[in-house]
Structure 1
Amino acid sequence: MEFWIAALVVALLAAAWLARPLLSAAGAAPAEPEAARDVQVFRDQLRTLDRDIERGVLAEADAEGSRAEISRRLLAAAAQAERQAPARPAPRSASRAMAAGLALAVFAGGGGLYLWLGAAGAPDRPLQARLEEVRSAQAQRPSQAEAEARMAEAGTPAAPEPAPGSEEARMRDLVAQLRTALADRPDDVRGRRLLADSLMRLGDMQGAQAAIHEAVEQQGEAAPAEDRVALAEAMILSAGGYVSPEAETQLGRALRADPANSVGRYYAGLALAQTGRYGLALRFWRALLAEGPADAPWIAPIRAQLPDLEQAAARAGQLAEAGEPAPPPAALPGPDREQVEAAGEMTAQDRAAMIEGMVAGLAERLQAEGGSAQEWARLIRAYGVLDRDEDAAAAFARAREALAGDDAAQAALAQAAADAGVPQ
């Protein structure tokens, strides 16, 4: 109620300030121009001249010169007075109608804007409280080392040895040779970039992170945005798609140097979504979708996650921060088997980013807020495609518990579990 009273008072003051000139001018008499007074003076002089002639004080012949001069000045003053004449005041009724219209526009316009942009009934969120929330959330986020340790505890199946003569075997040999060469060239930034890229392609995210980190450290403040984004990407993939505070710092520094870096903007949007800043994440990703190109590696994961992100932003009242809506997504919310398998056409790092980002985002939302049987089924099938059998079984158990009593949902979950190879 206090908000509405304050808003009403402000609207009244604004309407009064706008209407005051109209109401005060409606009854005011226009000021007489100075030239009009001169006209009256010259007319009085002509009448005085005529009276002097009638009384015999002045002869007619002597008065002609004076009459001609006074008449000339009278005509000049009359022309000047006409130019200085004020505009006729508007009728009082028209001024009052205009003032009422302005007041109505203030109330209607302000109320309409609030209904469009505001959040009626939302509790106050003072700046200090919001800053405390951000600091608290940042303090609770796992660090990069903690996230990598959790990934190590979860364990990942060892990759099979490549067949002799295969492309992967040749790349590993080249990586070994590059490591040997770099051992004697500690200042070779370009070589470390090449090593990091090669390790990325081999799926060695932590090795790639170490190599690009050395390149960034050697360059210091002069490190380009591309290197910082590559470092952040390696950190994110090493943490299973989680954007740690350290990775977010690298992204921030990269985007300050190059705000147009598309890969950095994609991961910045992912970081914002993971920390509850859904509206700003939408702004980042919608801009990337609008810019394209359609075959960019970040387009598919953005379209897959966009519906869930829009729903989260709507629930949090953050849609006003998101800007204009993006083009309609080409895929259903959340990853399904076809989307995950389609990632095989991408490079290793792009594929890992797409899959982990999609699965992690969907799993986090379902764990926190629940979802439909179709969404749980997509998560179970995605885990199955990724050979994460334990996660698939755990998701199946949580979904069955969350949707207990819904026979149709239970049947859909059972089919998804069978597709993922989960024993029942």
Structure 2
Amino acid sequence: MFWIICAVLTGAVGFAIIAPLLRNRGTGEPAAAFDLRVYRDQLQEVDRDLERGVIAPEDAARLRTEIGRKVLDADRRLSQDTAGKAGGRGLLAMGVLALLFAGAVTLYLREGQPGRDDLPIAQRIANARQIYESRPSQAEAEARAPAPVTPEVPEDFAALIQQLREAVARNPDDPQGLALLATNEIRLGNLAAAREAQQRLVELRGDDASADELVRLSALMIEAASGLITPEAEEMLARALTREPTHPQARYLLGMLQLQNDRPDRAFPIWRSLLEEGPEDAPWIAPIRTAISDLAWLAGQPDYVPPVPMPGPDAEAMAAAEDMTPEERQQMIAGMVSQLESRLASQGGTPEEWARLISSLVVIGNADHAREIWTEAQARFATQPEALDIVRQAATEAGLGE
């Protein structure tokens, strides 16, 4: 079917290109021959006008020169038409199209996958699973990774780092020394050494290793493996999320793991939650915001609209609020709440933002309007139970009940 469609489309385009060139084939004389007869008649007319005294001799000479140039041009075009003919041009164009088509087919057979069938979703998931299970180990990934670029450091700093390395070697069970060594090895670009120090620290902590320490080790493993999340790095993420299920950096890296294994359907809900939770200045928000629209499309949710970042009051507004009277401060808060409500009404927003609006309206003494917003939110999130639960919790805490 694919080749039939390609052939039909190519034939249609080729016909559209060649048809104008073949249109004049087999018809009467070329246009240049008609022009040549007209110019010759004009020359004869100039001679007759000169004999009758209608034009002056100098005007006749000028007209003959001008018409003569047109005669030469028409004669040149007539010679070209006679030599090539319209049909010749059509055949030439057809030959060029044939060469282009042959080149396209050759390129596709060389670079494409003509024998590959359409993949059903089950096969795609199976392929993703194979990618996941065939990942190299941490040691293999580090061996394949290109050598890191190490920055030049002052001699005195390099000497201090060497002293730190020697001190850690003498006392390998010092958690503070290991953490300090890992930090400074990162600054020097020695990712493998930093990973070794952090790994030693995690092993030393055992079951008491914090989620931050585990995530840091996973991130160092990923960097040392040139961005690949190996099974060992994934294990550190799993341990971190066991200790702190909402750890944002661990969840971000978990979403990255799903992307690396061709599972955008799993990555999207993870990154969507992180984006909607914020804060906007978190380091993982910028890359998520850049990719979330494409990721939503790949995950089968093309209608997803990312939340619009809502900046809070700037430093000047906060400073000015300190000098306000309680009434003025209340008016400023009411203005911010009004802006939030207008944006949610025109652009929509996350359930967290709807929950914030309901809570804020109650705080400024507008419980009746908060109840109206809660009713509207129930209709808006009726098909999204998890989102509705977030708004319901805010309404309950604000004393609105169901």
Q: Normalising by the residue count of structure 2, what TM-score does the alignment of the two structures yield?
A: 0.43
- Structure showing greater relative contact order (alpha-carbon pairs closer than 8 Å, 6 or more residues apart): 1
Length-normalised TM-score, structure 1 = 0.41
